A and B are shown apart, each in its own frame.
Chain A
């Protein structure tokens, strides 16, 4: 028997609509995915990948399947403006593209389109999802394949450098009922090309929607992607994201991530270092409070020789928040000379907060350099006393130290207004001066 959530989304009409007007292969993929998720339901705690994130409450909720009035939702551009970012902007409201709020890129070598036949128009996506959607743990990918509307496609031609960041905005806006939206994106960066991209989740107004974003990135040989992810979704939302990356030889992915918003958040990062010399650098922070729950699930595969991954994430949980970090690196047979570094440090700011961290390293190759470490602790009492002994009040001293702990993850970003914005956003999520310690 399907849960309330799945019943509300996968009724006969919705399934018929999703399969209508798309190529036969896409319709078949949608059909198969819908029936698989109806058959297996959502992940359970006994599914290893969902051990720390319970979906029981979510399962009992009903959502409108997409927002039919999305075109008329009032959205103030102030909600998503970022300092110093004034180039191409693609704005999605409740999962649907809003041309009136967007500034389409007019850049040679950058092509933006919307594939209206859902899953099947995204060959890379289809291949990967066919593999990954085989288990119940991938219920949200199944749901996405079954129902996603027109997907975003961004392509950068070989050798083209897009230096001005492209700003992708995912805004949630209040609707008559809570909305579940499904969205797919495919981003391809040609050989030797480069792209700067910002994935930005914001609240246009308070809402309790369920967002489900599946994005696939392909970096061809020698390509480079600089990706900044800012997740500041509305406080009551549930946000599920899967970012899959395939990185070919000598290509490089550099990403900086902030998880600050949403009530319940799951972020899967699947990185495939597929070509010789492929590199992946990830810096991330989650800053949680109240009853927020954030689950970051990072799976990196070194599949080729001389590949490198360098991952450092930090987490802060206050009040009754719960953070989960899973970082798994596999160095496959034959990926000799790989360099895999993973560090995850966390601070608990309250006795009721909880952080679970699981670094995992599996090595099947030779001459591999690998290190991983994870810690969960409290603020350094010595540093706290040092600051206080100079006259800095306890509440400010705590803020200063927690801020420094988080901001260290952005130290390698150029000192731009964007970096200042990231630090300021984090500062709003840390214990406030004047609040009880």
Chain B
């Protein structure tokens, strides 16, 4: 589904990603872990198409075509979804209007029929229940006045509604209490499917107790320095990121 090869990315003149290669197949759950400043969020943003991220080398193939050529809205319609680390508050843009506009814009681009408001609301109600979000949030501005936990749950709710093929979760666990963390994990697990892949970016191993990954990759200083199965996350938790740095140094020497 997603094939990243030797990806180099520069942000504000500084090289952040220094040659990442990663392959994600349909149905897989990949976790990207790493210390602060390793480039984890950069990876999520560059895949979603944010401006200001300059790809200087390498390729990203998504379902056989060049993902980097697509506008952010085209990527969304093709099934790429980024759950933001810091969801943006947009006062004055009604949440329901926003979601319906987004969903129907995606459907239109895919040549599917747009949903009328009855069909749309039915779908919304189903998904809200999973995340235990209140109806009332729909009538507010996008993320306006949401608590930190509500914002993160709202991201997962949007994901559930938009049903992407490739979901990238950028530190969705940060700032969540244990109850909210479980709700988020339930929302993600409910969406695991053979045709869908996940890239879960996180700083802590905690989330991975609830969302069990097939693969864990450690990102440090713009490179994937270690890949393994879910046990790698536990090793990291035990030894800390310094352990990776030491191993890297040993490898270099």
User: Are A and B interaction partners?
Assistant: yes
- Residues on A lying within 8 angstroms of B by beta carbon are 380-383, 385-394, 396-397, 400-401, 403-405, 407-408, 411
| B35 in contact (CB, < 8 A) | no
Report the minimum CB–CB distance from A384 to chain B (whole Å).
9
- Whether B158 contacts A390 by the Cβ 8 Å rule is yes
- Whether B76 contacts A391 by the Cβ 8 Å rule is yes
Contacts between chains A and B (CB distance < 8 A), count: 78
Report the minimum CB–CB distance from B39 to chain A (whole Å).
18
- List, in ascending order, chain B residues with CB within 8 A of A401's CB: 90, 93
Report the minimum CB–CB distance from B216 to chain A (whole Å).
25
- Whether B102 contacts A392 by the Cβ 8 Å rule is yes
The 6 tightest CB contacts between A and B, nearest first, are A404-B92, A391-B76, A391-B106, A390-B102, A388-B72, A386-B88
- Residues on B lying within 8 angstroms of A by beta carbon are 48-51, 71-73, 75-77, 81-82, 84, 87-88, 90-93, 98-99, 101-103, 105-106, 109, 141-142, 158, 162
- List, in ascending order, chain A residues with CB within 8 A of B49's CB: 388-389
- Whether A389 contacts B91 by the Cβ 8 Å rule is no
Interface residue from A381, A391, A397 paired with B162 (Cβ < 8 Å):
A391
- Whether A392 contacts B92 by the Cβ 8 Å rule is no
Interface residue from B71, B92, B106, B158 paired with A405 (Cβ < 8 Å):
B92
Q: How far is the CA of A382 from the CA of B86 in the complex (A)?
A: 10
- List, in ascending order, chain A residues with CB within 8 A of B92's CB: 403-405, 407-408, 411
- Whether B50 contacts A385 by the Cβ 8 Å rule is yes
Q: How far is the CA of A400 from the CA of B141 in the complex (A)?
A: 12
- List, in ascending order, chain B residues with CB within 8 A of A408's CB: 91-92
Q: 29 A-B Cβ contacts within 8 A?
A: A381-B51, A383-B88, A385-B50, A385-B51, A385-B72, A386-B87, A386-B90, A387-B93, A387-B98, A387-B102, A388-B76, A389-B48, A389-B50, A389-B73, A389-B82, A389-B84, A390-B99, A391-B102, A392-B98, A393-B73, A393-B105, A394-B71, A397-B73, A401-B90, A401-B93, A404-B90, A404-B141, A407-B92, A408-B92
- List, in ascending order, chain B residues with CB within 8 A of A386's CB: 84, 87-88, 90, 142
* Beyond known contacts A388-B71, A389-B49, A403-B92: 5 more, CB 8 A cutoff: A386-B87, A386-B142, A394-B71, A394-B73, A400-B93
**Nearest residue in A to B101 (C-beta to C-beta)?**
A392
Report the minimum CB–CB distance from A343 to chain B (whole Å).
14
Q: How far is the CA of A385 from the CA of B162 in the complex (A)?
A: 17
Q: How far is the CA of A344 from the CA of B49 in the complex (A)?
A: 33
**Nearest residue in B to A408 (C-beta to C-beta)?**
B92
- List, in ascending order, chain A residues with CB within 8 A of B84's CB: 386, 389
- List, in ascending order, chain B residues with CB within 8 A of A407's CB: 92
Report the minimum CB–CB distance from B204 to chain A (whole Å).
24
- List, in ascending order, chain A residues with CB within 8 A of B103's CB: 391
- List, in ascending order, chain A residues with CB within 8 A of B98's CB: 387, 390, 392, 400
- List, in ascending order, chain A residues with CB within 8 A of B142's CB: 386
